[in-house]
Amino acid sequence: MTVIAPSPATHRLVPARLHGPALDIRGVTKVFTSGPGLAGRLRGKRAPSRRIVAVDDVSFSVERGEIFGILGPNGTGKSTLIRLVSTLLHPDTGTISVFGKDVVTDEAEVKRLINRVSVDPSFFKKLSPMENLMYGARMYGVDPAYARRTIVEILERLGIEGRSIWSPMEDMSRGMQQKVAIARAFLSAPILLLLDEPTTGLDPHSRREVQAFVREIRDLHDATIILCTHDMNEAETLCDRIAIVDHGRIVALDTAAALKDLVRSAEQPEPTLEDVFLQLTGRSIEEDIKEEELK
């Protein structure tokens, strides 16, 4: 297995000097307000605004070196929580700190410690993966020679090689583009990596490649991983601990084994994480996903 060395130039803060949990979230709430929208207003609609609590008084800590899962369907606040940690949004109440650095007051320092892979990454579609990633490397301040070598190593590790590295992104499947997004995030050698549905759209083989790479990032590169997913098997396979999220609140947080013990009984001696979710929320995660798709 190829071991990919992180670029020393990317760490402007020395990890050894950082103390405390990798991520500490205390009493965080984020509320959005929705109305009739521009089209509705142009038609004279005066529908009252609707208050949407995306994250509701959430508190938890993640220790350095953990793969921490946030499990729940789309629309339950997972992505909002990731945006709050990545400084794209500010909490309405509560605090978020990354290795002791507050995401609001120490935003610039936090950005140097983290990177994020979204469920729908953006690229210059006419450019190749190499061109997109070299552009990202320049933004991160990564040495060009190191970046070019490392880009090839990461993409090959993720199953992208040969002509695909130099072909336009628009010719690649959504799953392959997601792999390029993971490679882009790793280029800055983050010590906190935020993955928002990283295997969405991937075939089973590609999903396993990405999951193996996530473990490698944690085990060989001293990174902490926050993984948002609605895939029960992925959460159980990868995560040291899992938080189950329902309507913006954490309803349970523990290891997969301990969560399953919550619902274990004589009638259900071998429960699954799906059974846990069903009992804690009153519905299956598939029902939640279908409900969200109909909105």
* DSSP output for 211-272: HHHHHHHHHHH--EEEEEES-HHHHHHH-SEEEEEETTEEEEEE-HHHHHHTT--SS-SS--
Confidence (pTM): 0.82
- Element (DSSP H or E) covering residue 136: helix 129-140
CA distance readout (Å), 281 to 80, 196, 199, 246, 289: 20, 22, 24, 7, 13
228: in domain: yes
Q: What is the CATH number of the domain that holds 245?
A: 3.40.50.300
Q: In terms of domains, do 234 and 245 share one?
A: yes
- Mean pLDDT over 81-96 rounds to 95
Of 189, 208, 238, the one marking the end of a domain is: 189
Query: What is residue 160's predicted lDDT score, i.e. its pLDDT?
Result: 84
Q: Comparing 251 with 11, which gets the higher pLDDT?
A: 251
Q: In terms of domains, do 147 and 240 share one?
A: no
| Count of domains observed in the chain | 2
What confidence tier does 11 reach under pLDDT thresholds 50, 70, 90?
very low
41: in domain: no
Strands 67-71 and 224-229, bridge-based pairing: parallel
Q: In terms of domains, do 80 and 178 share one?
A: no
Query: What is residue 211's predicted lDDT score, i.e. its pLDDT?
Result: 87
Q: Which two tokens stand for residue 48?
A: 């009252």
What confidence tier does 13 reach under pLDDT thresholds 50, 70, 90?
very low
- Mean pLDDT over 2-24 rounds to 58
Range of the domain at 209: 20-35+48-113+191-250
Q: In terms of domains, do 230 and 215 share one?
A: yes
Q: In terms of domains, do 74 and 185 share one?
A: no
Tens of pLDDT, residues 214-228:
888 888 888 999 999
Q: In terms of domains, do 57 and 156 share one?
A: no
- Mean pLDDT over 109-130 rounds to 88
Q: In terms of domains, do 178 and 127 share one?
A: yes
